[in-house]
Amino acid sequence: MPYGASETRYSNMTYKRTGHSGLKLPLISLGLWYNFGGLDPFENGRAMARRAFDMGITHFDLANNYGPPPGSAEETFGQLMKKDFHPYRDELIISTKAGYDMWPGPYGEWGSRKYLLASLDQSLKRMGLEYVDIFYSHRPDPETPMEETMSALDSAVRQGKALYVGISSYSPEQTQEASQILRQMGTPCLIHQPSYNMFDRWVENGLLDVLDQEGIGAIAFSPLAQGQLTDRYLNGIPSGARATKTERVWLTPADVHRNIEKIQKLNSLAEQRGQKLSQMAIAWVLRKPQVTSALIGASSVAQLNDNLAALNNLSFSQEELNQIDTILMS
Ligand SMILES: NC(=O)c1ccc[n+]([C@@H]2O[C@H](COP(=O)([O-])OP(=O)(O)OC[C@H]3O[C@@H](n4cnc5c(N)ncnc54)[C@H](OP(=O)(O)O)[C@@H]3O)[C@@H](O)[C@H]2O)c1
């Protein structure tokens, strides 16, 4: 069936300004780290991407290495652009990143100019795009001078291959330095992409303050702690769930076992709020004014729908926030 986007796609989503920039992002964005690779069923990814855009999710987040195999999520997205989203390019914010291991040899990872600009060219080819909306340095490089990495981001914009630039997983100090260099170059840092969820609160120790000072937005990745902050693991570890996937070990059964008591308590609190745990977890990251968007993943349209319903209740009483803190510290 040829795709035509829903006429009502802008009726229910809220768009928030990213830092001090002119760019607004949807409160919920969709990431293609998992479930869009070469080994995943194309039609499932396609159904999720279509549903996302139909519900006002204008932002799709990728990276050079997403798959597996690395690069294949960008290829899948290229197919989606060609088959479904081509007429809507100007309604979409598409991001990609370079930083992790992508090809053999000394120029296939980290933060050199050589790697970043070659990688961006490869990403554009795989996605069939002339430009991305946001190009990120995926991780700080302890060896390459910060000026070099930032000047590569600045060049990507000047070459017309990216509209904005961002950084991911940079510490507060590194973020401040990167931001100052980029501002001097005339390409302000639009956005920082850190992990942030109830089990991983590092951004609260300085990063959010730096983002405030520098006028940079934040897009919180893994707001569901890779599925732990949902009902996915309440009754054990189901086959096919992320914690069972052995080709990548970012979430293990041991992680789930360690957190399960807290997950159960948080789930009860979400029920008292009339929400699912996944919805409370998304609302919780969005409570911070610096957080522009919650960057979720999903493995089915049903999960995506659940997560979109988070927007129905984004507010917390102080009592509820205290209860969450107490559970997390228990
Ligand atoms: N910058 C970086 O270094 C970095 C690192 C990681 C991620 N990211 C970005 O962040 C995006 C999101 O990361 P993430 O996938 O870890 O996010 P997440 O939203 O924390 O986890 C998504 C996973 O949770 C489960 N899930 C989602 N909704 C659910 C629901 N309603 N009910 C039950 N289970 C549900 C699914 O796992 P199952 O497969 O078990 O169903 C889904 O794949 C990535 O795609 C990527 O774009 C960036």
Please choose, from the candidates 88, 14, 4, the residue with its C-alpha nearest in 3D space to the C-alpha of residue 56: 14
- Domain locations in the chain? 15-329
> Residue 82: pLDDT above 80?
yes
Distance 184 CA to ligand 1 centre (A): 35
pLDDT at 61 over 90: yes
Closest C-alpha residue for ligand 1 atom 25: 227
Q: CB neighbours of 309 closer than 8 A, spacing ≥ 6?
A: 276, 279
| CA-to-CA separations, 95 to 140, 304, 311, 321, in angstroms, rounded | 18, 20, 23, 32
Hunting for tokens 């309440």 — which residue is that? 234
- Give the residue whose CA is nearest to atom 45 of ligand 1: 31
pLDDT at residue 248 in the model? 77
Decide: 227 in ligand 1 pocket, CB within 6 A: yes
What's the pLDDT tens digit per position in 149-197?
A: 999 999 999 999 999 999 999 999 999 999 999 999 999 999 999 999 9
Q: What is the pTM of this model?
A: 0.98
The tokens describing 187, both together, are 């390409």
Q: Place 316 in a pLDDT band, splitting at 50, 70 and 90.
A: very high
Mean pLDDT for the chain overall? 97
Q: Which pLDDT does position 246 carry in this prediction?
A: 80
pLDDT value of residue 111: 98
Please report the pLDDT score of residue 249 as a whole number: 79
The neighbour count for residue 185, using CB atoms within 10 Å, is 17
Confidence band, pLDDT 50/70/90 cuts, at residue 247: confident
Closest atom, ligand 1, to C-alpha of 100: 3
The yes-or-no verdict on residue 1 having pLDDT over 80 is no
Write the pLDDT tens digit of every residue in 83-103. 999 999 999 999 999 999 999
Using the predicted structure, report yes or no on whether residue 265 has a pLDDT greater than 90: yes
Q: How far apart are CA 250 and CA 252, in angstroms?
A: 7
2 — pLDDT class (breaks 50, 70, 90): confident
Q: Which CATH superfamily is domain 15-329 in?
A: NADP-dependent oxidoreductase domain (3.20.20.100)
* pLDDT number for residue 323: 98
Tell me the C-alpha distance between 195 and 203, whole Å. Answer: 8
Of all protein residues, the one whose alpha carbon is nearest to atom 42 of ligand 1 is 298
- Report the nearest atom of ligand 1 relative to the CA of 97: 1
Mean pLDDT of 123-127: 98
Structure tokens at 311: 């927007």
- Ligand 1: centre distance to CA 185 (Å): 34
The per-residue pLDDT for range 290-313, each reduced to its tens digit, is 999 999 999 999 999 999 999 999
Is ligand 1 within 6 A of the CB of residue 251? no
Query: Using CA atoms, how far apart are residues 25 and 256, in angstroms rounded to an integer?
Result: 31
- Mutation choice for ligand 1 from 51, 299, 304, CB with most ligand atoms inside 8 A: 299
Residue 9 has pLDDT above 90, yes or no: yes
Pairing, β 24-26 against β 59-61 = unpaired
